[in-house]
Amino acid sequence: MEYVTYTKYQTEKEAEETINLLNVHGINYIAEKIYSPLDSVIIGGPVINYSIELKIKLTDFVKVDEILSEISDNNLESVINDHYLNNFTNEELIEIIEKFDEWNNTDFLLAKKILLSRGINVSNEKVQELREKRLLLLSKKKSKEKIHFSYFYKLGVFLVILGLGSLILNYFGIKLLIIERLGLYKGFYNNIIMTVIGLLFIISTDKTRKH
């Protein structure tokens, strides 16, 4: 079964606790470093900053939710009152749950807990339903990106070939133009010589006639 993104962490240290729990419970995972292509452009050198994308099997999502929820309950209580997510609307909090791949696990669990405190219970079944819809959307988006990439790649190759062809034609065109101009100059030069020779011949003939 395919591994899909469960959550993201800004540092390896943040991901370490979750990874240790996954190892303890025998849950397979993939911890992938995600680099931003813009960082390398802005910095102009090796990319140092990256996030950790934790991927697990879709069938393990609910189990991991329960494990992390039990472990995090005490920690969440200490931060929930002053957390910025308290300023989010119910719709915005539900969006965090829907777009779980864009938020870290703490924000995800806090969103559920704040909603519950507001009388909105998002069950594990509902979470799973939202995740499946999100994964389907991401899958379609990925397919479109592949099609667009293929299109632009082919277009790029075509433009490169077209550019090279233009350069080659220009190169040979200039050479042909030079040759043509040289030919014209040579013809012009020959005409002058022939004209001069003709005039000299006429003058010589006139002098001979006079004598």
More confident residue, 39 or 25: 25
Q: Where are the domains of the chain?
A: 3-122
pLDDT tens sequence across 82-127:
889 999 999 999 999 999 888 888 888 899 989 999 999 998 889 8
Taking the C-alpha atoms of residue 166 and residue 88, their distance in angstroms, rounded to an integer, is: 57
**What is the model's pLDDT at position 87?**
93
Lowest mean pLDDT among 131-140, 177-186, 199-208: 199-208
Sign of the CA dihedral with 131 first, then 134, 140, and 146 last: negative
Report residue 42's pLDDT band, with 50, 70 and 90 as the boundaries. very low
Q: Is the pTM of this model over 0.85?
A: no
Which CATH number applies to 3-122?
3.30.70.1530
pLDDT tens sequence across 163-173:
676 666 566 56
Cβ(102)–Cβ(6) below 8 Å: no
**What is the model's pLDDT at position 91?**
95
**What is the model's pLDDT at position 178?**
56
pLDDT tens sequence across 193-202:
555 455 554 4
